[in-house]
Structure 1
Amino acid sequence: MTLPLRFDWRKLEKFCARVFERAGVPQESAAIIADSLIQADLRGVESHGVVRTAIYLKRVEAGRMDPAAEIRIVNETGAMALIDGGNNFGSVIGTKALQEAMKRAKDFGVGIAAVKGSNHFGTGAYYALKAIAQNQILLVMSNASQTMPPTGGVRPFIGTNPLAVGAPAGEQLPFILDMATSVVARGKIIVASQKGEAIPLGWAIDSDGNPTTDADAALAGSVLPVGGPKGYAISMFIDILSGVLTGAGFGKYVNNMYENWEQPQNVGHFFIALDIDKFIPIDVFKSRMDDYIRSLKEEPKAPGVKEILIPGELEFRQTDRLKAEGITLPLKVVEELAEIGKRYDLELLEAAYQTT
């Protein structure tokens, strides 16, 4: 039998949630984790999608993540809270932090939730979309383990530390910026390696500092900062807020989820929520956003350009398409998920569109 490669997103999400439950993750947390992974795949960010299921489970099984850990507020005053995730799942901790930031924004206009003791928390857009649904603007950032050299260096020292920003609109699509501070997220190189594909020149260097198109050589070397010194500086700034300020790991003290099996990752995050109604009425804001976006899209286009897009627009279209057509996964990921399903007495093929 040929394994299917295309899956119904709802059924695949249900499969993943059940896997995490049977691995000992509380039901509510399992649902959040599965939702985070599927939303990443739907938006076309497959490096943060169900491909992460196996490594998440492996870290739980090895005792390197604790799905039962209490997520605690350890310091708070007015608009801010410092949260210790206790080494729980990153997306579960991130969801708690988002809720705290939004709640405080409702009271004070701005809410800040800083996080230590966390793990990989998925895509920043996952949280930005939830804030937008509550008529709030969100800035969220996270540090990550060493994958990128400082400008002028060869060896990885800082992470691809991502930044996401979300703002609602009215009739227009919302603004969603979700970016790594590297030219590309390291997860995309992992996906290329799994597919046996080359990567574009300029994404990474090998362990000797030479540019490479070999995904495996890139994984042994370093990804490069976007915009050279500017991306490096932004990554360092995110590390200061997410790591140095929170008490989480920073720089070389953020542990790699794939390589360090002795210690927790101790990732840090930083959430800033703004309640729009505390600035101007939400209807006025949305109308102004619509005017802004329409005006931008009416700008003269360069030769060969059919349409000017706003950040996040391609991902919204991708989501609509994949919800209708199904999520296509690499064969290696399908085989991995099928094996995980067998281990927990679950059938992956039930989520497939075709089983020929």
Structure 2
Amino acid sequence: MSFLGERLSITPPDNLGTKYREEEVERFVVECMMSQGVPRANATALAEVLVAADVRGHISHGIFRLDMYMSEVMKKICDGHATPTIIKESVSTALVDGNNGLGPVVSNFCMDLAIKKAKATGIGWVCVKGSNHFGIAGWYPMTAVKHGLIGMSFTNTSSLVVPTRGKNNIMGTNPISVAAPAKKDDSFVLDMATSMVSGGKLEIAHLKNQPIPEGWALNKHGKPTTDPKEMLDDGSLLPLGGTELYSGYKGFGLGMMVEIFCGILSGAPYAHNIRTWTKSTSPADLSHCFVALNPAFFANGFEDRMSDLMDHCRGEEPDEGGKAIQVAGDPERAHTQKVKEDGGITYPITLVKTLWQLAKHLDVTPMQSA
């Protein structure tokens, strides 16, 4: 967190807890955003996505990101009041202008529109420009699953990824998410960057003063590094797969595919044309793509077959390591269950102290531990 570009001199107390109930975290996010004039509905949309990220174990995209959203609203780089508008549409497609609104507000609108179209025609495909960081990509396909639909989401990001055989960053981490309904709410939920790892995981490693695995990133000189700060200081992430020897060109190709669905299709900035993420002096102008697909327009029994496939994969004999085979969504399910059993979300104390200072800076009630 940047503290809106400043460090506060006030020192947090020593007795701060590290475990917080979901509703308390949501309350805190909403009050922080409303302190800057953001309408409650828009603030709640953001809070729900951030809390969901933390509950599912994606701490790099949870309340850790609050300062980024707040900073851009305070600097009027992002319009916390804005709502999206449809530029043009057909029965199954739409192009939307996010009007520089909060990413979750824009994205909920677009996913809901795609769902409406998919229920009527079998598919809804919605592209949006003029948006901002939208949180975890999986949030939006999971919304489609609640309606019995297959959901997909894609977003471009600032350039952090070096191409295979290249030296300069020209593509974003460009996440992909696909969710599909199965029986007993046991959904398939794929949520992944097209780089080796999301940039946020390096920020968390830096926050915790931990090294990163070799093969994730390069420093500004193009050399492999295990120090997250070296990557954050004008370094690079490798595409999914890593180097050319390990098929990094496939990850880079997937990143370009996301860019086709987002920046290229919507007529927005793409790849190297997107604002540098650390230089937030102008609107991010990110673009996303949301797809909803109605299985009812295809063969009957989709959820039965989906469950059979997932259960079969899980039931296969594990390797010598002995750990059970997982399918997409299982780690998040396990973390969600842990949060439930623990009675709250557990945060690093460094982050808790930062949030306490932010609360004092904004004159809102700090989060109260569970």
Q: Same fold (TM over 0.5)?
A: yes
Structure 2: distance between partners of 1:323 and 1:29: 26
Cα drift, residue 291 of structure 1: 2.0
Structure 1: distance between partners of 2:185 and 2:120: 28
Aligned to 2:161: 148
Matches within 5 A, 1:63-78: 63-78=76-91
Cα drift, residue 265 of structure 1: 0.7
Cα drift, residue 172 of structure 1: 6.5
Aligned to 1:231: 251
Aligned to 2:207: 194
Aligned to 2:351: 333
- Unaligned 5+ residue runs, structure 2? 1-12, 242-247
| Farther-moved stretch of structure 1 (288-297 vs 14-23) | 288-297
Structure 1: distance between partners of 2:251 and 2:321: 29
Read off the aligned partner of 1:324 and give its amino acid letter: E
2:161, 2:239 within 8 Å by CA — same for their partners in 1?
Answer: yes
Cα drift, residue 341 of structure 1: 1.4
Q: Secondary structure at the match of 2:184?
A: coil
2:316 to 299, 317, 321: 299
Aligned to 2:3: none
Residue 268 in 1 paired to residue 310 in 2? Answer: no
Q: Secondary structure at the match of 2:206?
A: helix
Aligned to 1:279: 298
Structure 2: distance between partners of 1:70 and 1:38: 22
Cα drift, residue 200 of structure 1: 1.0
Read off the aligned partner of 2:325 and give its amino acid letter: I
- 1:18-66 CA-to-partner distances (Å, cap 9, x unmatched) read 2112211111111110010010011111110001101111111111000
Aligned to 1:139: 152
Structure 1: distance between partners of 2:302 and 2:271: 38
Q: Percent identity?
A: 35
Cα drift, residue 102 of structure 1: 0.4
Read off the aligned partner of 2:136 and give its amino acid letter: T
Read off the aligned partner of 2:77 and give its amino acid letter: R
TM-score (norm 1): 0.95
Structure 2: distance between partners of 1:349 and 1:119: 26
- 1:128-162 CA-to-partner distances (Å, cap 9, x unmatched) read 21111110001111100010111111221110000
- 1:159-184 CA-to-partner distances (Å, cap 9, x unmatched) read 00000000010036210100001111
Structure 2: distance between partners of 1:193 and 1:303: 33
Residue 246 in 1 paired to residue 263 in 2? Answer: no
Q: Secondary structure at the match of 1:36?
A: helix
Structure 1: distance between partners of 2:122 and 2:41: 29
Structure 1: distance between partners of 2:341 and 2:64: 21
Structure 2: distance between partners of 1:42 and 1:349: 16
Aligned to 2:220: 207
Q: Size of the alignment, in residue pairs? A: 349
Residue 256 in 1 paired to residue 302 in 2? Answer: no
Matches within 5 A, 1:1-356: 1-2=13-14, 3-171=16-184, 173-220=186-233, 221-227=235-241, 228-261=248-281, 263-281=282-300, 284-325=301-342, 326-350=344-368, 352-353=369-370
1:204, 1:224 within 8 Å by CA — same for their partners in 2?
Answer: yes
2:72, 2:280 within 8 Å by CA — same for their partners in 1?
Answer: no
Structure 2: distance between partners of 1:126 and 1:310: 17
Seen in structure 2, the aligned counterparts of structure 1 residues 76 and 44 have a Cα distance that, compared at 3 Å, is same
Structure 1: distance between partners of 2:340 and 2:52: 10
- 1:162-211 CA-to-partner distances (Å, cap 9, x unmatched) read 00000010036210100001111000001111222111111100011000
Q: Which runs of 4+ in 1 moved over 4 A?
A: none
TM-score (norm 2): 0.91
Structure 2: distance between partners of 1:324 and 1:29: 30
Read off the aligned partner of 2:272 and give its amino acid letter: K
